[in-house]
Amino acid sequence: MDIDIRLARIDDRLIHGQVATAWSKQTGINRIIVVSDEVAEDELRKFLLKEASPLGIRSNIISVSRMIDVYRSGLLREEKVMLLFTNPSEVVTLVKAGISLTSVNIGGMRFTEGKKMITNFVSVDDKDVEAFLYLANQGIELEIRKVPSNPKIYLVELLGKEKFKKLV
């Protein structure tokens, strides 16, 4: 029941200019799915995200469990999809449920209390690092790029394998 997932991206801004222009063109998608329990409950945020979607690209904002159901149903078999997440823990839940990913792009995770900046636009806490470590151990590439033209920065290399383990 595989769907054509062209990009899985963690960016707490979700649908914004970079997604709407560069990433959607680069990946040739026809649907954006925001996978977030928190956002799926917020009607105003859902409305605003749908409004921000690029012309001609359908968008859905759904919970993690709903994404698992949709994946298993085969409803998206004909779609070219971009999955957007606010954090890596939701990606882990999908991977543990059998959704196959080869790479996860990290576009932005804002700095908040208790997080450590690892680039000027990516900050992580212990829970994030634990989730990223799980994904890396599944053989999933974890690369940081704001836009497709930026060079890939590999998250595990950036943190350093020893440092990465110590943070968990």
* Gap between the Cα atoms of 94 and 99, Å rounded: 6
The residue segments making up the domain with residue 96 are 4-167
Q: Residue 109: what pLDDT? A: 95
Q: Residue 168: what pLDDT? A: 46
16 is catalytic: yes
Q: Which residues, given as ranges, of the chain have pLDDT below 50?
A: 162, 168
Query: Tokens 């059998």 sit at which residue?
Result: 98
Residue in 12, 13, 16, 52 annotated catalytic: 16
CATH number of the structural domain spanning residue 131: 3.40.35.10
pTM for the full predicted model: 0.92
* Gap between the Cα atoms of 133 and 142, Å rounded: 10
